[in-house]
Structure 1
Amino acid sequence: MVTNAPIPPRRECGGLTRDWFKGPDIPRGVLSIETTCPDSWVAYEGSCYFFHHALQDFTEAQKHAVIGRNDVKNWKAVPEVVDTLNRCEMHAGEPLKLVCGDHDQLCCHLCVAVDHRQCSNIQHIPDVAKGIQRNIEFQQIPNKIVELQKQLENMKDARMQNSTTLKKTRDAISDEIKTIRQKINELLDNIEVTTLQDLDGMIAKLENSIKKDIETCDKITTELQNMIAVFQTKAKSSESKSYIAYRKSKDMISQANDHLHSISNIWCHNVIFQGNNLIEKLLLPIKTFGAIGKQTVMAISDPNHVFRIEEYNEYNVQISDNEYQCDIRGICEMPNEDLVIADFGNCKVKLLDKEYRVVDHRVVPGQPCDVYHIGGNEVVVCVNSEIYFIYVVKSQLVNSRELSFSHGCYAAAHHYGQLYVSSGNALYVYTMSGQKVKKLYEDKSGNDTVKKCAISNDGKKIFITNFNHH
């Protein structure tokens, strides 16, 4: 317990007393004040200190029973009623009466005593507040709050919509996973059917061989029985008949022995099966049907901003086996900053690294009109009336699957698990498995009225190019 704590001398600064709270050497920081007393005085190291208005300082008082931080709810406020606006957020029940100019912070007496003892620019709020109601910035506060509330409400709506679209995306990806599983099942079913066909063919072949052996045995047995009957009845009638029976019996016995020897070389027929463990070896390292990644779309402060070209460079993407000049109809960027381009003139899809060098290419069965990054390391390429799915794996283009349509495919876009495909004069929506959702837009006023397409980040706007109207 500290007693007779000395009161340091008061120092003046700009006509203001800055040592209002120079009681004991209270450590800086809110956590230094551990308790308070029932009279709302500051308790420190066992002593209570109250703010002496005449001395404008904390003065040690009589002993009080202190209330620790465990009973903060019992800490009392100052005698006057402190409304919510004037209440200090750091010290329950204390009114805000001062401003620290050094930290640009509203303070109560305890704030100054604990955190701002060394600050030189402490002022009373009434002095600082003079003329504030005529301040333009003060008058604009309500409008700013209303605008901010509107922005927060819009952000809340956007997040709720985002949550809804995430659920739809989950369903779309789930359908895509099930489609992959179905295709794998179909492949396995085909392998099973082929294997069973091989098995049935082998069984039928062996059964046919066994049937022939049985028929041979029956035939020879019948012939031998007939010969025995002839030998017993006619062979003894004359020596000539006996000789003929003897020779035929001998030949028949020789043939029977030959057949028996031939059949007995194969004791029995059996079928064995040796499973192909290559399938298991291929599937064992694969943990998922594909990579699940997060795609964060950054907000643009001005959605109507027009970008201006500051500078540009030219890069040669010709390769040795190109027959024609490159005609790039589509381009997209991968997450690692590699580029995938659609070379219409040479029927190729090319992969460029960060230095814009061609590191790989794939020949497609037609002239590619567009390429679009749909997520992760996967792109789609529009060729004639088909869309090809291609993965970019370790700087290589790997064919995945394809979808066929009843119309041409000039451009594609992807948004939350749905594929948007332009046919030249219409825009269609499909699932990632190729199931048609709907025809979204159509313009039959001419050719190429719906050529290229793009979707805004929030999905609220769809942009198309009309070559007839430029």
Structure 2
Amino acid sequence: MQRLSNNLQTIVNELNKFKSTQEASIQNLEVSCTQKLQEMRDQRKKLNAALDAIEKTTLKELDDIRTTLTTSLKKDVDNCRRLKDDLQTLSEAVNGLCYKSTKEIEFIAIRKCKDKIHESESYLKENHVKVQSLMIFQANTDIEQYLSKQTSLGKIVMLKMNPDQTLTVKRTSEYILKIPSDTSQSYQISGICSTPSGQVIVADFHNKKVKLLDQHYNVSSHCNVSGSPRNLCNITSSEVAVIFNNDVQFISVTNGQLVNGRKLSLQHAAIGIAHHQGTLYVTSGTALYQYTLTGLHVKKLYEDAGDYFTGKCICSCFQSKIA
């Protein structure tokens, strides 16, 4: 009976421990939800600020056009008023000279009238083709269409952890990777890796560039590639391999600048790439291939033609094992 009693007490203790853990989890959940709600509101504020900035720019364009057109129209009004007044003055003078002027005065008056009439006719001829300006607003429908396709401000991800483990995000930061030579306003960082010196190299898919970031995450150098880069990986401490289309482009960091090097052309599409101990591993979308650094095809490691493998992280290198 004592043993049974001990077992019962053990279970009661375990239940109490589990109950306390779950109650603490409820409190943590409420705190987490409050934090996420604030992050969502902060994200909304950023979107509002971005839209306000776009609206401000558009309003300035409207104001500039209005100022230009108003200045031009006022100039036309002033010129018409001046010419009309001059002609009216000449008309009155001519009427006063009809019965008492000499030939010389008549000649001068006629000459002035002809000159002023010619000036007025020339002005009207040059300006009569001016069409009444009609402004229209061509809305940037890309913004509306993009937003209409979005279903949320972001994803809520649940992280499962062991009770004794704690995962804490200390801080998050945003950095602008746009540079003047970018041709696309859409940015997709399709690959990222770091150098031993702390520099970061990223692949800009839409702008077909590879960009080098300094320790403050500012773009310090870039180089163009002949396709949209899908992924990249470290080869050495100062060289990376970038894939796009059917090619592998090697890029080195020399004196703080990115420099294009040799390029390998493959017989299949290149989706993902990794390097381990002098060997390149490249995925085509359905297969995993092994290559030497000189571009020699070693073998096909795996293929699944029935499904499309879209992952970019193609291998996990740990203790000389490929997974």
- The alignment's TM-score, normalised by the length of structure 1, stands at 0.37
| 1:295 and 2:165 matched | no
Does structure 2 conserve the Cα–Cα contact (< 8 Å) formed by 1:343 and 1:367? no
Q: Does 1:348 align with 2:212?
A: no
- Structure 1 residue 287: Cα displacement: 1.1
TM superposition shift of 1:182: 0.7
1:362 and 1:244 map into 2 onto residues whose CA distance is 77
Report which stretch shifted further, 213-222 or 263-272: 263-272
Indicate which of 1, 18, 21 corresponds to 1:158.
21
Superposition CA RMSD, Å? 3.0
Contact 2:198 2:214 in 1 (8 A): no
Contact 1:347 1:365 in 2 (8 A): yes
1:180 aligned residue: 43
Structure 2: how far apart are the matches of 1:341 and 1:200? 46
**Residue of structure 2 equivalent to 1:142:** 5
Instruction: State whether structure 2 residue 237 is matched by structure 1 residue 366.
Output: no
Residues 414-464 of structure 1, C-alpha deviations (whole Å, 9 max, x = no match): xxxxxxxxxxxxxxxxxxxxxxxxxxxxxxxxxxxxxxxxxxxxxxxxxxx
Q: Which of 248, 259, 283 is matched with 2:147 structurally?
A: 283
Distance 1:223 1:199, change over 3 A: same
Mapped partners of 1:293, 1:395: distance in 2: 24
Does structure 1 retain, via aligned residues, the 8 Å contact 2:192–2:232? no
Are the aligned partners of 2:87 and 2:116 in contact in 1 as well (CA < 8 Å)?
yes
* Cα offset, 1:297, TM superposition: 1.3
User: Number of residue pairs matched?
Assistant: 190
Structure number, greater radius of gyration = 1
Check whether the contact 1:340–1:350 (CA below 8 A) recurs between aligned residues: yes
Alignment-derived partner of residue 274 in structure 1: 138
Per residue, is there more helix in 1 or in 2?
2
Q: TM-score, normalised by structure 2?
A: 0.53
Kindly state the Cα deviation for residue 296 of structure 1 after the two structures are TM-superposed: 1.6
**Of 206, 218, 240, which residue of structure 1 is paired with 2:81?**
218
The correspondence for 2:33, drawn from 170, 182, 191, is 170
Distance (Å, rounded) in 1 between the aligned partners of 2:60 and 2:95: 52
Partner of 1:196: 59
Residue 346 of structure 1 and its aligned partner are, at CA, apart by 4.5
Judge conservation of contact 2:200–2:212 (CA < 8 Å) in 1: yes
- Aligned residue identity for 2:138: Q
Q: SS in structure 2 opposite 1:284?
A: helix
1:347–1:364 CA contact under 8 A, matched in 2:
yes
CA distance in 2, matches of 1:175, 1:396: 35
Identity across the alignment (%): 23
2: CA distance, partners of 1:350 / 1:247:
77
Contact 2:192–2:200 at 8 Å: present in 1 too? no
Shift of 1:267: 3.7
Distance 2:155 2:232 in 1: 17
In the alignment, structure 2 segments of 5+ residues that lack a partner are: 166-190, 204-209, 218-229, 234-323
Residue 259 of structure 1 deviates from its aligned partner by 1.3
Residues 344 and 170 of structure 1, relative CA distance in 2, 3 Å threshold: farther
Alpha-carbon offset, residue 262 of structure 1: 2.5
Deviation at 1:224, TM superposition (A): 0.3
Gaps of 5+ in 1: 1-137, 304-338, 352-360, 369-393, 398-470
Q: Distance in 2 between matches of 1:232 and 1:261?
A: 27
Shift of 1:216: 0.5
